[in-house]
Amino acid sequence: MSNHCALKIRGTQRKVHRHSVQKVAIPEKYEYKQWPLWKLGYFDLKKLLVATMTAGLSFFFISAPQPLQRTLPRFPVKMAMPVLHALEPIRDVSTATSQAIATPAPRRAWRLLAGIYSADVLYAAKQTGLSRKLIAAVVHVETRGRNLVSSAGAIGPMQLMPTTASKALHVDPWQPRANIIGGALYLRRLLTRFHGQLRLALEAYNAGPTAVAEGVIPIPAVTYAKQVMALAA
């Protein structure tokens, strides 16, 4: 077996002795591409993790997105080959898979949005008259269905502020079902206030009704409303 392996960078080949540790300059215009890791399935992610652990630091040196250090001590390049092979499926994610993720079947979409709170979402929809998909979309965009406390102090799947929950809605925000019912009730009130305009109601849910009433709507609130409406469509 040859004691050398070839490293090809932008059309040029360099030989690296397999038993040596050399310093290899990283080119100024190194081509780097971000791979959509979120599109990977379980087995692809597992393969990537195993290959990355196998290759160790070699993967970092080869895939560095920018030349932070011009010369780095490089392990034999052959160690990184398992990583490069494992990454091939990431670069070749099919368009069909992307479309399936973007436009799931109605049943799959409902499970994705509602998650473990599907019964609570259905109950809130019956109590408020809102669409179950709309409530589920708010839950999904707010917390991805997790029972969280934000840095601003918002609580639960629909991210209710404690003061709003207790004084205006009279619900316990720490209880997931009460949180979802309270959030749906609050959204219903906002719809009434803004004359049934869903976009304005969602922007008010995110940024507060005062900002929307005054016409000073933050960009994140606009984006938030678009995301919820797209999921609920």
**Does 93 lie in the same domain as 197?**
no
pTM tops 0.85, yes or no = no
Query: pLDDT tens digit string along 200-227?
Result: 999 999 999 999 999 999 999 999 999 9
**Does 173 lie in the same domain as 60?**
no
Q: How far apart are CA 69 and CA 99, in angstroms?
A: 40
Torsion over CA: 9, 10, 11, 12 (sign): negative
Residue type for position 181? I
Query: pLDDT tens digit string along 148-203?
Result: 899 889 999 999 999 999 999 999 999 999 999 999 999 999 999 999 999 999 99
Residue 63 pLDDT > 50 = no
Among candidate residues 66, 98, 130, the one where a domain is terminated: 98
Q: How many helices and strands (H and E) does the chain possess?
A: 12, 4
> 28 an active-site residue?
no
DSSP H/E element including 13: strand 12-17
Residue 54 pLDDT > 60 = no
- Return the pLDDT at 217: 95
Q: Structurally, how many domains does the chain consist of? A: 2
**Does 223 lie in the same domain as 144?**
yes
**Does 216 lie in the same domain as 127?**
yes
Among candidate residues 77, 98, 119, the one where a domain is terminated: 98
**Does 86 lie in the same domain as 183?**
no
Question: Annotated catalytic residue: which of 28, 31, 88, 142?
Answer: 142
CATH number for the domain harbouring residue 224: 1.10.530.10
Give me the domain span that covers residue 168. Answer: 104-232
Residue 68 pLDDT > 50 = no
Among candidate residues 76, 98, 120, the one where a domain is terminated: 98
**With 0-12 CB in 10 A as exposed, 13-18 as middle and 19+ as buried, what is 139?**
buried
**Does 51 lie in the same domain as 108?**
no
**Does 126 lie in the same domain as 84?**
no
Residue 109 tokens, joined: 């979409």
More confident residue, 190 or 39: 190
Residues 4-16: what's their mean pLDDT? 46
pLDDT band at 90 (very low <50, low <70, confident <90, very high): very low
Q: Which long-range contacts (CB under 8 A, 24 or more apart) does 25-33 make?
A: 25/70, 25/71, 26/64, 26/67, 26/69, 26/70, 26/71, 26/72, 27/67, 28/67, 30/64, 30/65, 30/66, 30/67, 32/63, 32/64, 32/65, 32/66, 33/91
Q: Which residue has the tokens 């091939």?
A: 88
Mean per-residue pLDDT of the chain: 70
